[in-house]
Amino acid sequence: MSDTTLAPAPGGAEGPRTRDLRLAVIGLGLRASLAREAHRPGEGSRVVAAVDTAPAMFARAREWFGDDVRLYGGHRELLEAEELDAVFVITPDHTHEQLATELLRAGVAVFVEKPLAITTEGCDRVLEAAREGGARLYVGHNMRHMPVVRTMRELIQRGEIGEVKAVWCRHFVGHGGDFYFKDWHADRRNTTGLLLQKGAHDLDVIHWLAGAYTERVTALGGLTLYGDIDDRSGQAPGAVMPDWYDPENNWPPLANTGLNPVVDVEDLSMVVMRLQGGVHASYQQCHYTPDYWRNYTVIGTEGRLENFGDHGESAEVRVWNRRSREGYRAEADLVVPMPSRSDEEGGHGGSDPLLVAEFLRFVSEGGATDTSPVAAREAVAAGVAATESLRDGGTPVTVSRLAPELARWFADGQG
């Protein structure tokens, strides 16, 4: 049994005091920082156990969660030994499906880092496991908590550009060589491809802004640069991206060294999508640009909006909704600057702490969340279909739909 430290009711509200949620984290790599956000002993949640297949990573768990954190080499040992309220699954993408289904069937609430799985069928199996186990499922699409995305959605919802008809997204992944081609991400067996792994964020945002899921896609792209680098020596066992990230010396991109032994995912992709309700969208992703940011353009029946920057003090959303007689106008009709946020407020423009807080509230109380397991599934389904099209020379592919009764179960709040 874990300890039962008392903490105030969630949100500081008046009411009966309750013990901290007992949490565990599986995977102590880069994004395990999310579990660190959840470790608030005496304030509602405590990480009591951690799992990693590399014992060398256990020092990180002790540093983050204290010397009394219990450590395991596998998730089944964890389930046998611990009484848990929730588990963070922060592992390579191809492991998400198995880990999440076993935990959910055991009745444990699960936070799965995006993407939910690397196949559409895998996502459906995870969703079904949540229903079978009666356990709460949450997927880490933190961009739904990014101020720039939320601002765009609020502007759309209040009618600033009328009815959405088109969404375009350009994603400039300036550090792609360091972030995605020097470890397991570069091997399609672990990810399906970067249209899914990296693109799941943007596809989910496109769906959220449009209020519709993708029905049909066609895509082109390829491994156009990193396939020409011969140094495939990889990284030291247990190393995580900050250990090798070098923003100063890996330019131009062909100067990168130490790529993963297997590199077979595309570094340039272009997708055209038809969404439900006749909305059209496009998504472009490049992993060797000199800058790193994403730009969304949303066009409606009464105007258009764009973000300039995606987080930080300089980011803003601009809206044009008055007729222009002089061609392009750099000055927008409405400009909404993003709030400045310090590093202490958390990663990804402050969205990570908000994501974790929503998950912990969901575990404790249930109710509606801004993230959605069904939406996470639909982002994967669009990414899978786009990858299939790309690798078949741009052949159009229809996105498979989730079983209606399973979609309804999640729409009703997961029981």
Tens digit of pLDDT at every position of the chain (415 positions): 333 333 334 344 444 447 999 999 999 998 999 999 999 999 999 999 999 999 999 999 999 999 999 999 999 999 999 999 999 999 999 999 999 999 999 999 999 999 999 999 999 999 999 999 999 999 999 999 999 999 999 999 999 999 999 999 999 999 999 999 999 999 999 999 999 999 999 999 999 999 999 999 999 999 999 999 999 999 988 788 889 998 888 999 999 999 999 999 999 999 999 999 999 999 999 999 999 999 999 999 999 999 999 876 789 999 999 988 778 888 999 999 998 765 456 666 689 999 999 999 999 999 999 999 999 999 999 999 999 999 999 999 999 999 999 999 999 999 7
Chain centroid to CA 50: 21
| Start-to-end C-alpha separation, the chain | 27
Give start and end residues of each alpha helix (H) in 158-300: 176-180, 188-191, 194-197, 199-210, 241-244
Look up residue 225 and give its two tokens: 């640069």
Distance, CA of 342 to CA of 284 (rounded, Å): 30
Residue 183: exposed, middle, or buried by beta-carbon count in 10 A (0-12, 13-18, 19+)?
Answer: buried
Q: What is the pTM of this model?
A: 0.93
Residue 33: φ, ψ to 5°:
-60, -25
Shortest CA distance to 405 belongs to which of 64, 105, 124?
124
pLDDT at 30: 87
Burial 130-154 (b: 16+ CB within 10 A, else e): bbebebbbbbbbbbbbbbbbbbbbe
Residue carrying the six token digits 């009745």: 107
Q: Is the dihedral of CA 149, 204, 135, 89 positive or negative?
A: negative
Identify the pLDDT of residue 13: 41
CB 112 within 8 A of CB 96: yes
Q: Tokens 């993407």 correspond to what residue?
A: 115
Phi–psi pair at 257, nearest 5 degrees:
-130, 170
- Report pLDDT for 345: 61
Q: What is the pLDDT of residue 344?
A: 52
Q: How many CB atoms lie within 10 A of CB 4?
A: 11
d(CA 204, CA 143): 9
